[in-house]
Structure formats: C-alpha cells, structure tokens
C-alpha cells in the first residue's frame, strides 16, 4: 500500500524574534502528542524543530516549518528566505558558528544545531542558495534507531 504523507501543520517563524524561540517546537510537540506518536519520536522531532527554528530566527529573514505525518514517519521541513549558507559542509561541523551575542544569550550559537539535527534524523538533507535561503528536511522514522 502506498504511504501517504499528510501535512499536519505549517508554522511561521519570524527572523530575529528571539523572545518566541522554541514556541514552534512546543506547538509541534503538542500536536504530535495528540496524534499518539511514540514519545521517543516526539522528543527527537521536538529537538530537530527547536534547532531549525532557532536557526531561522538567528540567521534568516523569515521562514516556515512544515510538519508531515505518515504511517511510518514524521517529516519536518524548514524553509527560509535569507542569507543562506555558503558552505554547508562547514556549517555542519560541530563548533562552527557565526552567531552573535544575542544568539548566545539565548543559550544557542555554539555551532551544535545542525549537527544535532543530523544526529537525531533518520534522513537528513540540507540545501541552500546563498543570498536566497535555506531548505532543511528531516525525517524521523517511527521504528527508527
């Protein structure tokens, strides 16, 4: 049987809106709880969303986070309009960061975000057009590791 991917929600993220960082992650967590998704999967998705959300707030002008649920997996797609990432390999390295103090004060900006997202994803893709924006897709499988 072909599996269908249902759009569960679209969440808007405003660049530089530090006060609300983490709100989307909390909302997505609540939505997944209502759907009866296993708690360990929800935690991974919540972490992935949190880091993706903080990155849009920190480095982009604006973006959306879309949540898809299908029988065997949860998919997070974070798309933003902004400066983009010139060197993806470099950005993925633990410890690499261009964060300023406003980001550090929030408890982020140590260069762990993208590495964390990749670590908790079963499928991870990151593409970017410098000057235009960034597109991150993360799939967490229900029977994943």
Partner 1 sequence: MRLREIRDKLDARVIVGEDRLDLDVSTAFGADLMSDVLAFARSGCLLITGLSNPQAVRTAYALDIKAILVCRGKSISDKFIEIARELNIPVLWTRLIMFEVCGRLYQEGLIGCIRQASEIEDKQIA
Ligand X SMILES: Nc1ncnc2c1ncn2[C@@H]1O[C@H](COP(=O)(O)OP(=O)(O)O)[C@@H](O)[C@H]1O
Q: Which of residues 111-140 bind ligand X (CB under 6 A)?
A: 111-115, 134
Q: Which is nearer to ligand X, 83 or 142 (CB)?
A: 83
Binding test (CB under 6 A) with ligand X, winner from 24, 47, 60, 140:
60
Distances (CA, A) of 81 to 4, 71, 117, 135: 28, 30, 20, 9
CA atoms within 13 A on the CB side of 93: 7
- The CA distance from 134 to 63, in Å, is 9
Q: Which is nearer to Mg ion, 73 or 91 (CB)?
A: 91
Residue 119 binds partner 1 (CB under 8 A): yes
CB distance 82 to 60 below 8 Å: yes
Interface residues with partner 1 (CB under 8 A) are 19, 21-23, 25-26, 29, 39-40, 43-44, 46-47, 49-51, 105-110, 112-113, 115-116, 119-120, 122, 144-145
């Amino acid at each position: 049987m072909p599996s269908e991917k249902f759009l569960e929600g679209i969440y808007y993220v405003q660049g530089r809106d530090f006060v609300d960082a983490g709100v989307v992650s909390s909302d997505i967590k609540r939505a997944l709880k209502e759907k009866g998704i296993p708690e360990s999967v929800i935690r991974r998705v919540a972490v992935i969303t949190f880091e993706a959300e903080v990155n849009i707030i920190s480095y982009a002008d604006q973006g959306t986070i879309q949540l898809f649920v299908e029988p065997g997996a949860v998919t997070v797609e974070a798309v933003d309009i902004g400066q983009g990432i010139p060197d993806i390999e470099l950005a993925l390295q633990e410890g690499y960061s261009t964060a300023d103090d406003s980001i550090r004060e929030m408890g982020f900006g140590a260069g762990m975000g993208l590495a964390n997202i990749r670590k908790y994803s079963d499928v991870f893709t990151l593409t970017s057009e410098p000057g235009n924006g960034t597109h991150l897709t993360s799939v967490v499988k229900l029977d994943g590791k």
